[in-house]
Amino acid sequence: MLEPAQIDLEKTNKPLLFIGGEKEQIIPADLNKKNAEACMDSLAKFSVFTSRGHFICGQPEWEKVTDYMELELQKLPVQNLNRASYLSAV
């Protein structure tokens, strides 16, 4: 069995968008929510998508997920985000 993943909250200084699928069984949506809530500042946001599993962006109507992500990116102040590096991590 693998060791549980750890998020170093002391090093979290970039915006984080946690997305989860309602039907996700590998990384449940409630775990993503707990991770977002553990970030003690306004840099983290959590959203869950209904009727989605682990392959969230490969399922029908995946454009709804990416459209949402783009809207969230547009809300961020420019100084907090290097869009190219953020998008490559997604």
- pTM (2 d.p.): 0.66
Q: To 10 degrees, the CA torsion angle through 90, 55, 47, 75? A: 30
pLDDT digits (tens, 9 = 90+) for 27-39: 888 988 888 888 7
Query: Which residue is it, tokens 């809530």?
Result: 37
Instruction: Locate 71 and state its tokens.
Output: 């809207």
Domain boundaries, the chain: 14-76
With tokens 């109507």, the residue in question is 61
pLDDT tens, 63-86? Answer: 999 999 899 888 877 655 555 554
**34 contacts 7 by C-beta, under 8 angstroms:** no
What pLDDT does residue 67 have?
93
